[in-house]
Structure 1
Amino acid sequence: MADAAVSFVVEKLGNLIVREAINFRGVRGEVEWLKRELETMQCFLEDADEKSSKGDDERIKIWVRDMGDLAFEIEAIIDTLLDFHLRRQQKKEQGRTGFMERFIFIFDELVWRRKVHVDVEGIKAKLYDLFERRERYGIANKVETHGTTSQYRRSQDMIPKLPQLSDEIYIVGFGDEKKKIVQELVDINNTNRSVISIVGMGGRGKTTLAKSIYNDHEVRRSFNIFAWVIISQEYTIHEILKRIASEVSATPTIQGLSVAISEKLEKFKYLIVLDDVWEVDVWDQLQRVFPDVNNGSRVIITTRMFNVAKIADPTAQPHTLRALNEEESLELFLRKAFPTQDIGTYCPINLVEYAYRLVQRCRGLPLALVVLGGLVSTKPITNDAWQKVVEQIKWQFEVVGERWLELLAVSYYDLPYYLKLCFFYFGCFGKVMDIPAKTLIRLWSGEGVLPMRNGKTMEEIGMDCLEELAQRCLIQVTKSKYDDSVKYCQIHDLLRDLCIREAKERRFLEFYKDETVYATMSNAARHLIIFKHIEALNFSNSNLQGLFYGDHDPLTFKVLKGQLSRFKLLRVVYLNILDISEFPSEIKSLIHLRYLELHADNLEEVPSWIGYLHNLQTFIIRSKVLEMIHDSLWRIESLRHVDIPTSSSAAVPNMGNAVPKNLQTLKGLTAGSWIGNMLPNITNLSKLNICEISDDHANALSSALPKLGRLASLSMDGDEIPSDNIIKAFSNQSCLKKLSLYGKLNRKRLPHNDEFPQQLVSLSLIYSELEHDPMETLEKLPCLKHLELGDDSYGGKQMICSKAGFPQLLFLSIRCCDELEKWEIEEMAMPRLKSLQLCYCPKLMVIPEGLKHVPLDQLVLKHMPDNWYKIDDWYEMQHVPMPKISIES
């Protein structure tokens, strides 16, 4: 790993020499010396890193870690060079040309040169010490070593593209257990509210089994209300209640939420899953929220703690998950090793023996089998490739004991350096979080950990990295986007433990909780994670690159005051909840900042000095009262993603002549003259959200939108939306996949389907006030998978889905169509529809007979006429689960 760290720094040094160092008289020699020495050191590192991963010698592990630290020290020197250069540019821009200013600057430059010289001399001494220790510990020269890991990894360039990820849940070995639990859930003779517990060690498959049961066809037909809540060790009752009542309007007190949930649940038969419960107190505090009205409601608990299960229901026998046997283990392993093949026939006979040897190492632990299967799925299907994996794992289990983290670590050790860094970022987020893929990718891009690949954007490369981590089963995709790319992902808590362990050892991150914890912390960590509210921050590493705060309580800025300006090399600032009304002035000194995200409800203004952040790529602000964003933001050339709250005054950009041509995401902007003047020039946009659109903007949109050839997602809202202009603007383009229009359309019927963008995958029409049946047009769109018609989108009485219409549609939502009385679904319409949501359609009394031909997996009803809830009316739709009725206030 350390050799790749050096490679990364060597490349950065080379770029510095070419682009920047020519401006730094007196230090160019030091910079070139650093580059030469690092290139020499690369020859010795890879074999050492392999030995370090295998744990052959603790001294080697320390040596490799120290080399990685040294590489990052050199990177800090590079950033210091860039820091000085940028500051000098700023002073020139500010017009400080007086005698005193020039004298002070010359003096500062002399001091700075002296500091660089001293720093480089210190690096030299450390390098010489590392050379001497290398000889002492016998770390082989890579040039003299045959068959090294690097040679093997280069062969992976020939591996075909990874198969498309699947969210299918495989249940191997627990089929009988699943049947027992399903029978307990649907037992009509047991009308009491009962608790069913699934117990087992981490990685045993509790959650996977529970998900399979939760989505089971028979279970879905037996309950009306469903809720899945992840508890974990890091929980508050308030947060748990909010998750259970995710569709209940926010209530400030626990008591208010409890009453709202209990009152709604007592009206229906419900199934609640509490996943990963660690403490008995959770059930003690929650059981009063789950009413027992003798209708057969159920609660499922998954836990590692047997006493949690016994206290939740002392009369019931918990379902304790065993280890898989050899046959079951092999099946699960091969499903992951060959995810797109028939595992019964595909595994080559020459690899079967290797498969058995690998499976034996896992000792029946499903998580280990899945991760190991994901690892070999990325390898060539050859004896040599699989033999190398076997050799990697053989040493792990020569000692007695269940070293599960070490087994899981084999997949981590196999990662290329940049993917190891990407993996570390999962430790920066809390447990049980659905982590947005776009956030991860922007962080990776901002910190420069992604490799360069010709013809691909950083966002595309980042998505490739995310999908490879998922293919290796180191992370799990929890939700996909309209284009089937990853939207949210999670990491298993055991893998998160591995991630944090390795990240801490590499001094990538550290957690800051309070002063007592701080006393034992490593000040060398490059990322500081604050998960709990603190009163003060005292952290001395001036080379800090990332600062994260993610607690539920607002952090007052006094905690950071006087601290932020000390971390001049910060690239990432992610502060989830901040109690401020003024933008922190200390941020303006963080000129290396690439990613800035502030959630501060009372923030009123983004000041003019925001333009000092020349390297800023991602700018995200969450505030309820933001009134002004200074125009200097739009003069930052590196800016790629802007996400700001919609406001009539703050979100009207005045970009002037300096159009940020690298912008890819613009969210929260208010319509104005900039649409005609500036928007046509932002040709790299892939996602655009504009508010307060009116018919007055029709001509500007007609002119600007056709020039945005890379736009994939467009969202607009306003009192009156010029729909014809927007739709026709993309009729001949191939990139637009998602379109959302929130507001009254300027005509009463949709354009002809030939005028619609034929490549649309997702379409939302809200408040459209259409008078003519929209299905006539929309059902002919060949790629449409997601359709939402909501809140007075259609005011007619009848709607028809014709034969063979909607050939690709998977999800349909119809909401608040107050006048809709009849819905006809002809045979062979919507042949792939999986999910249907119907809400607030008071006059739609009759269930469409044609629904019996639609292969629904889920039907969600909210506030529909009583007929929709009568079981007797569903005799023709026995293939459909019972309606899922969401909790609402």
Structure 2
Amino acid sequence: MAAFVVVSSLLELVEQQLLQPKPCLVLDDTETIVSLREKLHFLQAFLEESNLKTEDPEAKEKLETEIQDVATKAEGQIGSKLRLVYLAANANGGDQCLVEEACQRLYQTMQQVVKDIKSVEIRILMLKPNLFSSSTNDFNEENVMVGVSSPSDLIPEDTPIVGFEREAEEIVGMLTKEWSMKREVIAICGIGGLGKTTLAKLVYEDPKIKYHFDIRAWTVVSKEHNVKEMLIHLLECILPVTSEISNKGDDELAKQLRNSLVGKRYLIVLDDVWWTIEAQDVIQLCFPNNFNGSRILITSRFREMCTYLSWEIIFDLKFLTIDESWEIIERKVCPSTEFKELGTSICFNCYGLPLAVVLCAGILATNKSLEIWKDVYETLRTSRISYDKSNLEVITSLCYNYLPNHLKACFLYFGVFPEDSSIPVEKLINLWVAEGFLMPERNKSLEEVAKSYLYDLINRNLVQIDKRSVDGKIKRCKIHDRVHEVCVREATKKNIMSLLNEKHALQVCRWISCQSSYWPITQAYYENHTSDEIHSILYFGRDFYPSRFRLVYPCLKLLRVLDLSLLKYSHGIPSGIVDLIHLRYLALSTIGSLYNFRFSKLQNLQTLVVSSWMGGCRLQLPSNILDLLQLRHLHLEKRYSQCFPSLIQENLQTLYWLKVARSDQNKNFKMVPQLKELGIYIEGELVHGCLEGLVHLHLLEKLKVEIGRVERFYLPTYFPPNLKQLTLCYTYLPWKEIYIVGKLPNLETLKLKDFAFCGSKWEQTEMGFKKLKVLLISRLDFTRWNASANHFPILEKLVLKYCWELKQVPIDFSNIETLKSIVLESCSSSLVNSAHEIKKMSIYEIQRREDQPAFLVDDLGTKIDLPNNEIFEEESVECSMEDSDERYC
């Protein structure tokens, strides 16, 4: 697998940097480059097919090691020479003689690399009969580039929950019944993988729980706990966490959390508790005893812990029966009758451990041959495992072994994230793209390929869906901590990842995951390590405020990924970043001026995320960032002005936020024709028609518009034709203009927030919203809403938040055959009652089949005071269990 990562990364470098036209590259003879690409495709295809079982595993392993060594050496040599070309082109206006000399050295290096790979290629062809039954033609480029329909193309659904119904009902009853008005602690106890978190989430999301408690909050404690991070996660479920809050110390955060809970009936979930004294201190200091039936629910694999914290209120989870285990597999796989006997034998060898069963189901669902089922059974049977840790290690390793190499790389990459991380999907995908181990497919962007890989891992049950957005898309994902252990172990064993924390020292390898509160790469470190193997540094420490540090050491000259989003830098940007010319992904949280920073030198940058970690401290940025021709995703805070590129930008897909000011007469959106997502922030009175150019963005699917200091905003006459999601915020439009939005032919999700439209009455007269599936309305001042089912014929979800004046949902919405749920938060009782009336009359509820979910009216109640809307960004109706890093909106 490590060989596959290096070969794919080198191949991506050749295709994206050497074969793509660049002004500074003077390489007249492309024959060598094309030959190098073909040989790398051959190696990549060999490694992908050699993932299967062979008769001579020792020969295969020896070849893979040789391939890894050759590719690693080649990547370092080509990357270093290419770096010299870029530096020469950027030095003193670009001395042509120096550039040509650097290009000649690069060319000579590539010739030698082709010779080195050819010698390996000969040995592969000599040994190929012992390893493969396929013909040489299997290694051609055509097969590598063509994608085929597979399970990865299927949008993952949430895994059905089996075997927890009785326990969930019992715990919900215990939490909501007023058997004690004191603040009580209830514990769910069981070994890892038994389903403690799954059961707790089932309880947490129960409608009775949502209705009963004023506040619900969730945090993961985990083995490597961080008290400050836990407090921030709990606060995030209660109120918007600003940079001012996140910069407070533990004592101040604990006090603020306690004050937020005083007088409220709350449910706090502490998931995966490992330690004792600190847990008791947090409970005593942060969670007031309001004598109103507040509850604390903990999960832990240690019974002593549960006894210590909750006295006698402990739920010991039971193991699954064979029938329950088979039901999980049957729902996932839908096997024929001939598989049942073998399947129940597999279930028996999972010993009733839900995680083991789910992982086995993932293997069987994607490998439906009888031989694979037999192999899984024999592996479990002969391992002589029990229900303890070794059981899950064997099964998880089995899952890993059955992955194709391209998925193995993506799976192991989860190891760079801290245990129990809730990972933004968009961030993960952009990191995968930057790393360069994706296999391109025809008619798909790299982001689409990455998404299909993620879906494949989810469908295999190796990755979990952690959070969906209001329109049902997967927003965050995570992996079970027991699966995370395998990722870390395998990536470390293959020397492609180094985990740096208080227990582990820094080791030179491809990916560096820094989980301690200091910066690892220093002058002292460089003096002992001159290797150029480091390609990625991701910083996950907290409370580190460096004023100065350098990033110019030769050991980082091939760096592709630098994620410093959690490191709070004080002086604009660390020195030396400008010379990291191979950088693809850069995320910074800083204060100070970046105005003089030469972003133009980072010619390979694909993703740029820049934010200020101090509230009210606005950054100064250069206005030519969009001139970076390889840039695909740009995430800046609002109020940052950007000029459109001087040349047509063919790669840019995501732009948050584009500031439009008074001086902008007409934005030339033709310069960014490939945009798929766009956020526009408007300040100052605009000329009428300023945004008419949006119609030229034919690929745009997601648009957010937010208004700052503007007296009057004008909707564009025409929107992008393929727009699927639109968010309007503070636009103060009259309701008579809603018909413009209603005419959008492909609009599926509409979010109207913070006085997007004003007026007491929404009179829907036009026949619009023909494809709208999700409608969210938050903090609008209308009192009456006249609309019929014909206006929203395929609406599936209606969300109303802080609509204090609205008294009734249009009663005819009961005739919308597709309407499945109405969610209300901080709305009037009459509005809630009207929603329940619609549920009773709903055609969907009356006609639904037994296997369909019931119509849901989710009343979140009047929970808290209205948040400060300057920093309030609603993306999901539910309170989230997520990291504080929200760069990806």
Structure 2 match to 1:752: 739
Q: 1:464 to 1:262 in 2, by over 3 A?
A: same
Structure 2 match to 1:426: 414
Give the letter aligned to residue 746 of structure 2: Q
Out of 666, 676, 696, which is 1:676 matched to?
666
* Mapped partners of 1:96, 1:547: distance in 2: 32
Whether the aligned pair in 1 keeps the contact of 2:512 and 2:536 (CA below 8 Å) is yes
Q: 1:126 to 1:551 in 2, by over 3 A?
A: farther
* Mapped partners of 2:554, 2:444: distance in 1: 35
- Further displaced range: 433-442 or 327-336: 327-336
Out of 760, 763, 773, which is 2:751 matched to?
763
* Mapped partners of 2:451, 2:289: distance in 1: 46
Out of 236, 239, 257, which is 1:248 matched to?
239
Whether the aligned pair in 2 keeps the contact of 1:225 and 1:885 (CA below 8 Å) is no
Out of 814, 827, 838, which is 1:853 matched to?
838
CA offset digits 1:137-186 (Å, max 9, x no partner):
x997324689xx999x99995656754322254132x4443344334323
* Mapped partners of 1:51, 1:555: distance in 2: 50
Structure 2 match to 1:86: 86
Offset at residue 348 of structure 1 (A): 0.7
CA offset digits 1:313-344 (Å, max 9, x no partner):
2233x222233232222112222224xxxxxx
Out of 589, 613, 626, which is 1:634 matched to?
626
DSSP 3-state at the match of 2:736: coil
Out of 702, 705, 720, which is 2:694 matched to?
705
Using structure 2 for the length normalisation, give the TM-score.
0.81
* Mapped partners of 1:813, 1:659: distance in 2: 39
DSSP 3-state at the match of 1:430: coil
Offset at residue 783 of structure 1 (A): 3.3
* Mapped partners of 2:298, 2:684: distance in 1: 51
CA offset digits 1:484-505 (Å, max 9, x no partner):
4321111111111111111112
Q: Is 1:72–2:63 an aligned residue pair?
A: no
Offset at residue 545 of structure 1 (A): 0.9
* Mapped partners of 2:797, 2:182: distance in 1: 35
Give the letter aligned to residue 397 of structure 2: A
Out of 170, 173, 190, which is 1:200 matched to?
190
- Further displaced range: 304-313 or 350-359: 350-359
Q: 1:758 to 1:257 in 2, by over 3 A?
A: same
Structure 2 match to 1:643: 635
Offset at residue 242 of structure 1 (A): 2.3
Q: Is 1:836–2:828 an aligned residue pair?
A: no
Higher normalized contact order (CA 8 Å, seq sep 6+, divided by chain length):
2
Give the letter aligned to residue 327 of structure 1: D
Give the letter aligned to residue 527 of structure 1: W
Whether the aligned pair in 1 keeps the contact of 2:667 and 2:691 (CA below 8 Å) is no
Structure 1 match to 2:873: none
* Mapped partners of 1:168, 1:124: distance in 2: 45
Aligned residues: 826
Q: 1:771 to 1:607 in 2, by over 3 A?
A: same
Whether the aligned pair in 2 keeps the contact of 1:565 and 1:587 (CA below 8 Å) is no
Out of 533, 556, 579, which is 2:517 matched to?
533
Give the letter aligned to residue 274 of structure 2: W
Whether the aligned pair in 2 keeps the contact of 1:642 and 1:666 (CA below 8 Å) is yes
* Mapped partners of 2:212, 2:516: distance in 1: 41
* Mapped partners of 1:62, 1:771: distance in 2: 73
Out of 203, 214, 220, which is 2:204 matched to?
214
Structure 1 match to 2:543: 553
Structure 1 match to 2:310: 313
% identity of equivalent residues = 23
Q: Is 1:234–2:224 an aligned residue pair?
A: yes
Offset at residue 667 of structure 1 (A): 0.9
Which structure 1 residue ranges, 5 or more long, are not aligned? 339-346, 866-882
Out of 146, 158, 161, which is 1:170 matched to?
161
* Mapped partners of 1:230, 1:315: distance in 2: 23
Whether the aligned pair in 2 keeps the contact of 1:693 and 1:716 (CA below 8 Å) is no
Q: Is 1:725–2:730 an aligned residue pair?
A: no
Whether the aligned pair in 2 keeps the contact of 1:5 and 1:71 (CA below 8 Å) is no
Give the letter aligned to residue 300 of structure 1: L
Structure 2 match to 1:297: 294
CA offset digits 1:503-549 (Å, max 9, x no partner):
112222112236x843xx542x1111111112652263323111111
Out of 439, 449, 473, which is 2:427 matched to?
439
Structure 2 match to 1:614: 603
Whether the aligned pair in 1 keeps the contact of 2:703 and 2:726 (CA below 8 Å) is yes
* Mapped partners of 1:400, 1:804: distance in 2: 56
Offset at residue 415 of structure 1 (A): 1.8
CA offset digits 1:454-498 (Å, max 9, x no partner):
111122222111111111111111222455432111111111111
CA offset digits 1:563-618 (Å, max 9, x no partner):
55641111111002232223233111111111111111x13224352101111111
* Mapped partners of 2:350, 2:766: distance in 1: 51
Using structure 1 for the length normalisation, give the TM-score.
0.81
* Mapped partners of 1:629, 1:190: distance in 2: 57
Structure 2 match to 1:486: 474
DSSP 3-state at the match of 1:597: strand
DSSP 3-state at the match of 1:310: helix
CA offset digits 1:337-370 (Å, max 9, x no partner):
24xxxxxxxx312222332343233222211211
CA offset digits 1:100-150 (Å, max 9, x no partner):
xx4x678777887888899899x689969x969x99xx997324689xx99
Offset at residue 686 of structure 1 (A): 0.8
CA RMSD, Structure 1 to Structure 2 (Å)? 4.3
Structure 2 match to 1:879: none
Which structure 2 residue ranges, 5 or more long, are not aligned? 840-854, 866-877, 882-889
Structure 1 match to 2:649: 660
CA offset digits 1:53-72 (Å, max 9, x no partner):
x9977x97577456434423
Within a 5 Å distance, the mapping from 1:99-118 to structure 2 comes to 102=97
Give the letter aligned to residue 496 of structure 2: F
Within a 5 Å distance, the mapping from 1:465-504 to structure 2 comes to 465-481=453-469, 484-504=472-492
Structure 2 match to 1:592: 582
DSSP 3-state at the match of 2:216: strand
* Mapped partners of 2:507, 2:583: distance in 1: 23
Q: 1:596 to 1:838 in 2, by over 3 A?
A: same
Structure 1 match to 2:869: none
* Mapped partners of 1:662, 1:332: distance in 2: 43
Q: 1:324 to 1:778 in 2, by over 3 A?
A: farther
Whether the aligned pair in 1 keeps the contact of 2:699 and 2:722 (CA below 8 Å) is yes
Offset at residue 223 of structure 1 (A): 3.3
Offset at residue 277 of structure 1 (A): 0.6
Whether the aligned pair in 1 keeps the contact of 2:217 and 2:268 (CA below 8 Å) is yes
CA offset digits 1:654-687 (Å, max 9, x no partner):
3353232321111122104667253133111111
Q: 1:840 to 1:701 in 2, by over 3 A?
A: same
* Mapped partners of 2:41, 2:609: distance in 1: 38
Give the letter aligned to residue 439 of structure 1: K
DSSP 3-state at the match of 1:79: helix
Q: Is 1:337–2:333 an aligned residue pair?
A: yes
Within a 5 Å distance, the mapping from 1:343-358 to structure 2 comes to 347-358=335-346
DSSP 3-state at the match of 1:752: helix
Structure 2 match to 1:343: none
* Mapped partners of 1:108, 1:711: distance in 2: 41
* Mapped partners of 2:520, 2:46: distance in 1: 43
Offset at residue 279 of structure 1 (A): 0.6
Whether the aligned pair in 1 keeps the contact of 2:534 and 2:558 (CA below 8 Å) is yes
Q: Which has the larger radius of gyration?
A: 1
Q: 1:653 to 1:34 in 2, by over 3 A?
A: closer
CA offset digits 1:12-52 (Å, max 9, x no partner):
58748866999788999997997798788779867865569
Offset at residue 630 of structure 1 (A): 2.2
DSSP 3-state at the match of 2:690: helix
* Mapped partners of 2:267, 2:12: distance in 1: 55
Whether the aligned pair in 2 keeps the contact of 1:48 and 1:60 (CA below 8 Å) is yes
Structure 2 match to 1:873: none
Q: 1:65 to 1:319 in 2, by over 3 A?
A: farther
